[in-house]
Amino acid sequence: MMANLFSSFDPTTNLLSLNWMSALLGLLFVPSMFWLIPSRPVVLWNNINEILHSEFKVLIGNSKIKGSTLIFVSLFSMIMLNNVLGLFPYIFTSTSHMVMTLSLSLPLWVSFMLYGWTNNTTHMLAHLVPQGTPGVLMPFMVCIETISNLIRPGTLAVRLAANMIAGHLLMTLLGNTGPSLSLSLLVILVTGQIMLLTLESAVAVIQSYVFAVLSTLY
């Protein structure tokens, strides 16, 4: 309890001398990057984001739209996080279901189609007929390109879901045979499971990158 008004200026008023902690309150309003040394994982993640930003910037090719790569970097991060978490036991792999993957691919495809046909109609029409196509085949090529364009969100969703299901299903089937095997075969099975888990970790990262890259190309 303060004896008088000027006790608030006494650093030894409290038992634990916490008055000096008020000098750190300003750090709450300053971004941590200006006063906190980033850890190695943070530095690694920032480098990955910068590499992805440069990759997507080249793929998009439109420098007039600022921040257009942010949605694809965020998409990559979200899918990769869900894929990697799905490798842990008793964690639901949401990206192995079409409800999740189609919810990601369909809105992106629809928005890109609306933006492309609204602002670059001539360019979108030119894509329906590949360069050098004979005049006789042009009507067929328009039909083929239209169908391939319409099924793109479905193929994008199926690709991600199928790759996630295949690896998890194989690991589950191999794991269920463990109790009935001998000790020597069990060692081989565990070694194979570790190798398969390493492969699935790589697939989790690769598929998230493929999904984000194909979203930009579509």
Identify which of 143, 142, 163 has the alpha carbon closest to the alpha carbon of residue 206.
Answer: 163
Yes or no: say if 156 and 211 are a contact pair by the CB < 8 Å rule. yes
Quickly state the pLDDT bin for 85 (edges 50, 70, 90): confident
Yes or no: say if 154 and 102 are a contact pair by the CB < 8 Å rule. yes
Yes or no: say if 156 and 214 are a contact pair by the CB < 8 Å rule. yes
At 100 the three-state DSSP class reads helix
Better-scored residue on pLDDT, 62 or 135: 135
Residue 210: pLDDT over 60: yes
Residue 22: predicted pLDDT: 63
Yes or no: say if 204 and 86 are a contact pair by the CB < 8 Å rule. yes
- Residue 11: phi and psi, rounded to 5, are -70, -10
Q: Which residue has the tokens 């390493």?
A: 198
171 burial type by CB count under 10 A (0-12 exposed, 13-18 middle, 19+ buried): middle
Looking at every residue in the chain, the average pLDDT score rounds to: 79
Range 74-80 average pLDDT: 86
Domain residue spans of the chain: 48-217
The pTM of the full predicted model, rounded to 2 decimals, is: 0.72
Identify which of 109, 213, 76, 101 has the alpha carbon closest to the alpha carbon of residue 162.
Answer: 101
Residue 36: pLDDT over 60: yes
What gap in Å lies between CA 209 and CA 214, rounded to an integer? 9
